[in-house]
Amino acid sequence: MDIVLRACVAYVFIIFLLRIIGRRELSTLAPSDLVLLVVMGDLVQNGVTQSDQSVTGVFLAVSTFGLLTVAFSVVTYKSRRARIILEGTPLILVQDGEPIERNLRSERLNIDDVAEEARSQGIERLDEVKWCVLEANGTMSFIQAA
């Protein structure tokens, strides 16, 4: 039971840490996916199992992380409030060609990062952009001005 409790605490802490890190760095994976993939190997070693080298300990730790991943997925699917807390919400970075500095600062982005992403999507200048939205998954969506 000790392994399950340590795994639960580690999982919640890692999700919290990933939310603090921000969307920019996590743009390719959902935080829960990243937790499951990266931490799985360390769980098998000794992070959660400590000195327990048994196969049962490994199964308990890995199963706990897997079940927590599914549980968080179900909770975020069913609850908008949980989805906002665990995954975040879209954030407008540019409106009518003008950067929103407060939002850029909160995500530790600069206007050059936004302009680079715009160019990669075929947009030459930010004044052509009606909205640039940083999505909850870390990608930037651009809506061009008509």
Q: Give me the tens of pLDDT residue by residue for the chain, a chain 146 residues long.
A: 788 888 888 888 878 877 776 665 545 566 776 676 677 666 656 666 667 777 787 788 788 888 998 999 999 999 999 998 888 899 999 999 999 999 999 888 899 989 999 999 999 999 999 999 999 888 899 999 87
- pLDDT at res. 118: 94
Q: Is the pTM of this model over 0.75?
A: no
Q: What is the DSSP string of the chain?
A: -HHHHHHHHHHHHHHHHHHHH-TGGGTTS-HHHHHHHHHHHHHHHTTTTTT--SHHHHHHHHHHHHHHHHHHHHHHHH-HHHHHHHH---EEEEETTEE-HHHHHHTT--HHHHHHHHHHTT---GGGEEEEEE-TTS-EEEEE--
